[in-house]
Structure 1
Amino acid sequence: MNWIIRSTKKVKFHTNLHEVLKPIWNDLAVYKWILTDLDFISDQLLPINFDEDYFILDHPEFEQIYESNTQIIWGILSAVPNNIEPDTSALSTLSAEDTNVWKPDHFLIQGSMLEIIAFDSGYTIVKFKDQSLSDKFKDYFQEQAVDLQKFNEKYMG
């Protein structure tokens, strides 16, 4: 339930949320989104910027990013159930460069059901707690979604 995308065959660039979340988008309406450690490129006004360390967005706000042609270069994006109040005290200290992002089943944001880590425009790591969402994601991306554990064994020693 932990995947990494290196290829850009199904995505125009890393990390284009419209393409990454396409197979599961309709299942995500019941979540709010926490975004931290962001670096991105966009040609339109979004509910994120470079003035804050982190953002907590409701589904309509996050949908603006999803529908845009925004490239997330760095960042941690987490879907948490709407009824969970996140502990915001540590959000501004989280980093996509933390070695723990490469650990399968290790979620940096408490309460995450889905976590996406954009790593330097070259890798998109996607971790799931929900098997059915993970299966839909893998079915869509097929061989482009590489098991994170297998990737680590092959490339991280």
Structure 2
Amino acid sequence: MRAWLSVFFAAWVLWLALTVPWQPLQILAGALVAGTAAFFVRPLLPASFSGFGLMAIGRFLLFVPVFLVEMVKANFQIAWIVLHPRMPMNPRVLTAKTRLESDAGKMLLANAITLTPGTLTIDARGDELIIHCVSPTPEQEQDPNRLLSPFEDHIRRFAP
């Protein structure tokens, strides 16, 4: 029951965050959709999942601004590349090794990389992520793990 409530509240909070300003019917619809989603997701959760702890939720909320800052920086870098007369692209496929152990942490890391403009996670194999970069820095080419560093330490705090 605790797992269901965790999924329900996570989905409902996401719904509420996306439907501002709130109206009573939207709040009720969000609760119905979140409840339905939690009902169907519950059988897919690992047996060991007992819900999201408050510390994990707090640490996730601290990750969100880090992700947004990295996304804004990457948007400016891609805009500069596109608007530059010579379009100085140097596309590469790099393999980075993550220190995250949980599948949820690896999935979140891969998605954070993919949502950052100019990078795309092509595949995840074990502890390796194969990442396409539009224009990696020389430091990132020498050490592809630098692509992960803005996100990995923060994700480790709530999804080891």
Scaled to the shorter chain, the TM-score interval is under 0.3
| Greater relative CO, 1 or 2 (CA 8 Å, sep 6+) | 1
Using the size of structure 1 for normalisation, the TM-score is: 0.27
- Largest Rg, 1 or 2: 2
More strand by share: 1
